[in-house]
A and B are shown apart, each in its own frame.
Chain A
Amino acid sequence: MAETRAALRRHGAWAALAIGMLVPCAARPAEPATHLITMENMQFSPPLRSVRVGDRVVWTNRDLVAHTATAAQRFDSRSVAPNASWTFVAREPGRIDYVCTFHPTMKGSLVVE
């Protein structure tokens, strides 16, 4: 038992050292994430997505018809063909409502934090 405790202590020490080495990494800002949004069944899915400044948002068209992801003054994918994708990098915080300019019933929102 004593040996086990000693081993645990040793491991514990190593673990503490390892965590100590990791802390500076954790304190740095998170790496930009990539968020996937599909255009399918004439809908953006998910319709509402929260992202962080610097993150990439990729829209992929899974329908048989072309779509756009368009937010006035903010971004415009223009026509995204079936099976094609389009990427936007969020640069400023705020809520962005967007539509498919071809199909006005398709609506989505991004919340950039």
Chain B
Amino acid sequence: MKLPLNTLALSALIAAALGSHAQGSAPTDPQIAAIVVAANQVDIDAGKLAKSKAHSTQVKDFAQLMINDHSGVNKSATELVTRLKVKPEDNPTSDSLKKGGADNVAKLTRLSGVEFDRAYVEHEVAYHQTVLDALDKTLIPNAKNEELKALMVKVRPAFVAHLEHAKQLQATLGKSSG
């Protein structure tokens, strides 16, 4: 199995961006809102590409699940911040997430077949792990508004389940390659 160099690079990029918040000033609620929306949108975009390009049915189904679940989360997040009158504010972390997502889609577009499936799933494992770390270390601890904090706490188990699911897929794809 190929080593996920690009995935590691992406994780490092996101981790660095999130770390900049951890080391410097903590993100504000409007910034956290933008990070949450960006994080979900990035996975929806990757899912849409994978739904059309994936080789295996399992990977296509997973991609559809990511589209559905992350759209559901973003719908709830958008409803909440609208009600709270919190206007999402772009920041280095949300920008970095978006750039990482665009780079991933650009890279995946050039791949096909089993190679595509492996790269997509590999990225999904790293992405969900990175977002979970961000939720635990930066986003949940720094959210001031209790409802915003509660939303992220409520969403967290979905990211855990997705990570587990992606890892199972990764193991299956590894086996099928021989």
Residues of A within 8 A of B (CB): 41-43, 63-66, 82, 102-106
Contacts and interface: CB of A to CB of B under 8 A. Distances in A.
Contacts of A104: 165, 168
B95 interface: no
Given A63-B154, A64-B158, A105-B161, 12 more contacts: A42-B157, A42-B158, A43-B157, A63-B157, A63-B158, A64-B72, A64-B73, A64-B155, A65-B69, A65-B72, A65-B158, A82-B72
B72 A42 contact: no
Interface of B: 65, 68-69, 72-73, 76, 154-155, 157-158, 160-161, 164-165, 168
A43 B158 CA distance: 10
A53 B165 CA distance: 34
A64 B157 CA distance: 11
B154 A64 contact: yes
A65 B68 contact: yes
